[in-house]
Homo-oligomer: A and B are copies of this chain.
Amino acid sequence: MHLHRIRVVRDALDANETIARENRADFDHAGVTVINLMSAPGAGKTTLLERTLAELNAMSAPPRVAVIEGDVQGSIDASRIAEYHVPVVQINTDAGYGGECHLDANMVRSALSSLPLDDIDLLIIENVGNLVCPAEFRIGEDRRVMITAVTEGEDKPLKYPLMFRACDLVLINKIDLLPYLDVDVDVIRRNIESVHPGVPIMAMSTRSGAGLGPWCKWLVNVTRRTTVSA
């Protein structure tokens, strides 16, 4: 039973890798940079997207952005993002047996025909809120970014190391709440560093706007770099 299960899981991950590479080839062909945005439920992914779209819109020559929203159920997030007049596609993962806890490459692939790939520079994919499985499924992304909120406590990097290791950038969100918590942001930084040495870390508050500038600059930089090399 156990070996059989491991084989099934490995086959599923292999099949996912194949489709992820196809997605990646299509993104490269269209010159689109893709960000896979992950976090626990309620860490602030959608609010970060809203603030980011507003910030980018205020730039002189902003990248053209589209968004894929991944949720088990509902289209609350897609409705929020649509307010910013960017192309947005909602993927619901509850079509599977019981509801999937992550996006996989095939779900993203099914959304591609609804997106104007040739007319965008940057695709941000908001994954299902979960600190475990999304880290195991590539979806064709260039960069993986995760958010950890200070309200989640200091120990999350030690308890969910795979997610922290899988990411190219870790955002520490909700720092405006630090005065009201028994949490030391330096301990969070040290714990991230202990499981993923050298990973870039940015502290921010999507509520106050603190730290949004460096994040948007990072985003524009990775978009330009990929576009140039494509």
Contact = CB atoms under 8 A, between A and B. Distances in A.
A48 to B, nearest CB: 13
A213 to B, nearest CB: 22
A87 interface: no
Contacts of A41: 40, 131, 152, 156, 159-160
Nearest to A93: B132
Residue from A131, A149, A182 whose CB has the most chain B CB atoms within 10 Å: A131
Interface string A39-67: 01110000000000000000000000000
Given A159-B72, A162-B72, A42 B129 contact: no
A211 interface: no
Interface in A9-39: 9-10, 12-13, 15
Give the number of times this chain occurs in the complex, counting copies: 2
A158 interface: yes
Contacts of A207: 182
Contacts of A15: 1
Nearest to A92: B159
Contact of A151 (B74, B128, B151): B151
Contacts of A10: 97
A131 B149 CA distance: 16
A20 to B, nearest CB: 15
Interface of A: 1, 5-6, 8-10, 12-13, 15, 40-42, 71-74, 76-77, 96-101, 128-133, 136, 149, 151-153, 155-156, 158-162, 174, 176-177, 180-182, 207
Given A73-B159, A101-B133, 19 more contacts: A1-B15, A6-B97, A8-B8, A9-B96, A9-B98, A10-B97, A40-B129, A42-B153, A76-B158, A76-B159, A98-B162, A99-B136, A101-B130, A101-B132, A128-B132, A129-B131, A130-B131, A149-B151, A151-B174
7 contacts: A41-B152, A42-B151, A72-B160, A76-B155, A99-B132, A129-B160, A149-B151
